[in-house]
Structure 1
Amino acid sequence: MSDLSDDIRSAFEHTKYTVADVSQNRGQVRIELLEADAEADALREVLDTVIDLDDVFGPNVTTESTDGQGVRTVVTFRQR
């Protein structure tokens, strides 16, 4: 795991969020949170503590449901 992934995990874990996974693939970062009701603005604020939002391209906050794992909040973005 890269330093960015470690920093992102740490920032979210030091807030009220429980991180299920942080992954990176070809410049895209994906953060899975166990909370299904996380607010997009609050998530962006946490993300801004780790990476300058000017370096974030196409941030997206969605929810997804996986069989047997319940609903999760997923934050994705591309790093410039």
Structure 2
Amino acid sequence: MEITITLRGTLKKYFGQDKERKVEVPDNCTCDEALQTVGINYKEIPSFGFVAVNGMRVMIYDRLSPGDELKAYSRISGG
């Protein structure tokens, strides 16, 4: 199935010049599996924050559907 992956914040550097990517992933895959498809292992990125699907924050192991937009955000900090 095809989904769109967008990286936000400091994670954008992992896509180089691309803002987002349309990718083919296995049916019923998780957000984690989709990110691994494009070479992103969230466990190895200290600044990794959270993911959202179609504008709603979800858990990294939630399942995706065809046409979903997966956004990965870096940690947000400030004061």
Coarse TM-score class (shorter-chain normalised): 0.3 to 0.5
Higher relative contact order (CA 8 A, sep 6+): 2
Which of the pair is proportionally richer in strand? 1
Which of the pair is proportionally richer in helix? 1
